[in-house]
Amino acid sequence: MRSSKSRSRNKSNRNRSSMGNVVNRVFDSSGPEGKVRGTPQQIIDKYNQLARDAQLSGDRVALENFQQHAEHYLRLLSVAQKEQDARREEQERQNRERQAERDRERAHRQERESNGGDLADAPQPDFAQPDVPDTESGLVETPESQSDAPPPKPKRPRKPKKQAESDEAPVMDAGGEPSEAAE
């Protein structure tokens, strides 16, 4: 025989809110016809089907029993969906608040810029990026990359080659010589 102390300790350790997503959780239901396994919606459907079968066979007691089992899982599902909806609404509210704060910061920044305010005196938001020199490659100059040699001169674009006197370019063979068919 188990002690009542261990039994009560096990019951107190179960936290119903940490069971995870009840809507998709798989349950084992021990009903009058044996075990029924599945998500709450699957169990509800199974007990409703068993209730219809009991009704067709004329067994009112079994009908009521299956309906009560289905109702239990229907309530469980309903509570879980309400909790999901409440969490979703809370997340949407938080997202709206964050977006409103971003919009206020953006409007404030634009107002400062349009008034010609000195940006050096204005407090910078926490998410400001450090100033990075604007270079063509996007890389930052480091002591290792500097050398004593002067930087290379930029290349000039090539001038287009003059075309032959005729409008058509001569046909060249594999050796780069004009082919005989061109003459």
Mean pLDDT value of segment 88-102:
95
Query: Beta partners for 35?
Result: 30
Distances in whole angstroms, Cα of residue 150 to Cα of each of 14, 83, 134: 74, 68, 20
User: The whole model's pTM is what?
Assistant: 0.44
Cβ atoms of 80 and 22 closer than 8 Å = yes
Quick one: tokens of 74? 């229907």
pLDDT 10s digits, 138-178: 677 776 766 666 667 778 888 777 765 555 556 666 666 66
Mean pLDDT of the chain: 76
pLDDT for position 183: 45
pLDDT range class, residue 65, cuts 50, 70, 90: very high
pLDDT of residue 18: 47
Rounded Cα distance between 102 and 10, Å, is 47
End-to-end CA distance of the chain: 112
In the prediction, which pLDDT does 105 show?
94
What percent of the chain is predicted at pLDDT more than 70? Answer: 60
Q: How far is CA 32 from CA 57, 66, 89, in A?
A: 16, 8, 39
Instruction: Give pLDDT, residue 3.
Output: 47
